[in-house]
Amino acid sequence: MKNITIVGGGLVGSLLAIFLAKRGHKVNVYERRADPRSTDVYAGRSINLVVSHRGWTALRAAGVEKAVREIVVPVYARMMHDRQGNLNKVPYSIDNKAIFSVSRSELNRRLLVEAEKLPNVTLHFDQRCMDVDLENATCTFESVGGMVAEVKADVVFGSDGAFSAVRSKMMMGRFSYSQEYIEHDYKEVAFPANADGTPKMDPQCLHIWPRQHYMMMGLANQDGGFTGTLFMPHTASAFTPQASFRNAGAAKQKGPAYPESHKSPTLTSYPGFDTVVTEEQAKKFFAEHFADAMPIVPDLVDQYMRNPQSNLVIVRCDPWTYKDKVALIGDAAHAIVPFYGEGMNSGYEDCKVLNDLLDQYGDDNWGEVLHQYGKQRKPNGDAIADLSMRNFIEMRDLVADPQFILRKKIEGRLQANHPDQWLPLYSQVKFTDTPYVDALSEGRRHDAIMARVLAMPDIEKKWDSAEVEKMALGMLESK
């Protein structure tokens, strides 16, 4: 049995505590914020989460799947809202697979309840991590009342988010680190239910208002309402969609960063959060870009003026571990943007991989366990960061592109007729255990193949022909 300190009691830290405690270790969790079971620490700045296959795999392995199933809403498709108010429903898979919407605060509360049921887990709230002695696995915490305490452990996990205090101490040594803000910030928007508690929109869809420069999306809650999010540039300036993706690091990778059939709009001017600051400006903005959402959310402008503006950051670092003493996990190791809905799922997969490595190497061989953990998870953390920015471009810009819609139809036919040969990138990420790095590589191959397919003469007329199918599969097989 080891004494383990987990810095951060959020979504990943709480699940990690359950995994480790069930192995017999003594676990102390220290969280900077107040107990979310007694106060809403996420008020006004939450993005609803989705639990996908990877998340369920980890929750099942930890023995808490049933507890989480009770608070989720299944989501089977995207529902696109165009500027004219027309709706277009696009299923996530041809075989009716779903992702599952869940409130961040509800999930965190549920996992903390499950963790506290274990006799060898102790939760500490309102505790700020001031210092970490890496060599001795000792953390210094300060309470809201000013009390300072040193806590010695055998192993320390930094699960304290994108601005990790544990990671900041690891940076004192030989450590590579990058932190990049994307140009878009976000604000929460609450979509109320009808007076009788029924939803105003299809609750089994992710609703998206794609507007190239801006995007709004909404995921259902169990009470009939939706948690929505408005994404808009932090600062008004000139814009090309590819620029934001490439600046986030995707262009450093080999192969197409986005479907080659997409034609970028010309450089143009657009507002940002810094120019939509008054109530009158907000009314004009929503009336112009999200007119069909205003009747659904009568206080949309009031919420915009009231709710805080939050930023989105991508964090990459290396190494994730220090000897057999300290490890980063979740956002502390690989903070990503939320556009694939995989931030939490990738963190949960971190926990599951760590648990599997403890099975393989033993609970007394932390040096090898942490070494293998970092070696296996670091490339996948980088890959899901790239995939998340890629999906942002898809949701914001491409879903209304006729060429992109045609591509999806062709891919759907290929998958239906040859499911063992062609699995779309989204399905690889959301519905399988395929390592993110492999899914990203295969997605780039699909991009190159589909670019050639879409360039075929009269492709709009013969997209479902045997000729198109033969060409696509032929290129797929010629690796």
Which has the closest alpha carbon to 112: 55, 42, 57, 64? Answer: 64
Same domain, 141 and 167: yes
Contacts for 411 with CB less than 8 Å, ≥ 6 apart: 422, 424, 446, 450
24: domain CATH number is 3.50.50.60
Same domain, 351 and 413: no
Q: What is the pLDDT of residue 214?
A: 87
Q: How do residues 359-375 score in pLDDT, each as one tens digit?
A: 999 999 999 999 999 99
Residue 35 lies in a domain: yes
Q: Could you tell me the pLDDT band of residue 263, with boundaries at 50, 70 and 90?
A: very low
Q: Is 50 a residue whose pLDDT tops 90? A: yes
Residue 307 lies in a domain: no
Q: Is 167 a residue whose pLDDT tops 60? A: yes
Return d(Cα 327, Cα 357) in angstroms, integer: 14
Which residue range(s) make up the domain with 462?
401-477
Q: Could you tell me the pLDDT band of residue 396, with boundaries at 50, 70 and 90?
A: confident
**Tokens for 123?**
């939760």
Same domain, 327 and 439: no
Same domain, 379 and 405: no
What average pLDDT score do residues 189-205 get? 96
CA distances from 393 to 326, 371, 436 (A): 36, 35, 18
Q: Is 460 a residue whose pLDDT tops 70? A: yes
Same domain, 460 and 359: no
Same domain, 361 and 435: no
Of the CA atoms within 13 Å of residue 69, those in its CB half-sphere come to 10
3-state helix, strand, coil in the chain (%, to 5): 40, 25, 35
Same domain, 14 and 109: yes
Q: Is 342 a residue whose pLDDT tops 90? A: yes
Q: What is the pLDDT of residue 256?
A: 36
Residue 407 lies in a domain: yes
CB 167 within 8 A of CB 178: no
Same domain, 148 and 171: yes
Q: How do residues 124-165 score in pLDDT, each as one tens digit?
A: 999 999 999 999 999 999 999 999 999 999 999 999 999 999
Residue 417 lies in a domain: yes
User: Which of these three, 344, 379, 395, is where a domain ends?
Assistant: 395
Same domain, 384 and 416: no
User: Which of these three, 395, 416, 433, is where a domain ends?
Assistant: 395
Which has the closest alpha carbon to 23: 368, 324, 376, 364? Answer: 364
Q: Residue 308 carries which DSSP code?
A: P
Q: What is this structure's pTM?
A: 0.91
Same domain, 391 and 407: no
Same domain, 473 and 336: no
User: Which of these three, 377, 395, 413, is where a domain ends?
Assistant: 395
Determine which helix (DSSP H) or strand (DSSP E) holds 78, and give its type and residue range: strand 77-81
CB 120 within 8 A of CB 238: no
Contacts for 54 with CB less than 8 Å, ≥ 6 apart: 342, 345, 346, 348, 349, 352, 433
Q: Could you tell me the pLDDT band of residue 182, with boundaries at 50, 70 and 90?
A: very high
Structural domains of the chain, count: 2
Of the CA atoms within 13 Å of residue 73, those in its CB half-sphere come to 25
